[in-house]
């Protein structure tokens, strides 16, 4: 459902006029109710994708997808070097 921003703002202005009256009359319950309704209209405008004044939704920006980290392969420690009492082995000994 596309709701134009102008229409939402017009409804907010109606509620704001009622809120002003409630404030003048010191009606706390009505002040809370009108404030909640205005807050709902604000949230409606915030939650919708970019809206131009005619109410048409602009194309949303495409955010790049994060690249998942590559699994880390542990490196095997090198075998200890031969000590003086050990014979050096072949190059092919692992």
| Residue pLDDT, tens place only, 50-81 | 555 555 544 444 455 566 566 666 666 565 55
> Global pTM?
0.50
- pLDDT greater than 60 at residue 87: yes
Three-state DSSP class for residue 59: coil
CB-based contact 61:52 (threshold 8 Å)? no
| Residue pLDDT, tens place only, 22-43 | 999 999 999 999 999 999 999 9
- Both tokens of 76, joined, read 């095997």
């Amino acid at each position: 459902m596309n709701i134009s921003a102008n229409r939402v703002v017009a409804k907010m202005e109606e509620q704001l006029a009622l809120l002003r009256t409630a404030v003048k009359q010191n009606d706390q319950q009505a002040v809370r109710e009108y404030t909640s309704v205005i807050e709902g209209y604000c949230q409606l405008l915030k939650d919708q994708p970019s809206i131009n004044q005619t109410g048409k939704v602009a194309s949303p920006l495409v955010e790049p997808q994060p690249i998942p980290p590559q699994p880390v392969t542990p490196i095997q420690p090198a075998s200890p070097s031969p000590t003086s009492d050990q014979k050096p082995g072949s190059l092919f000994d692992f």
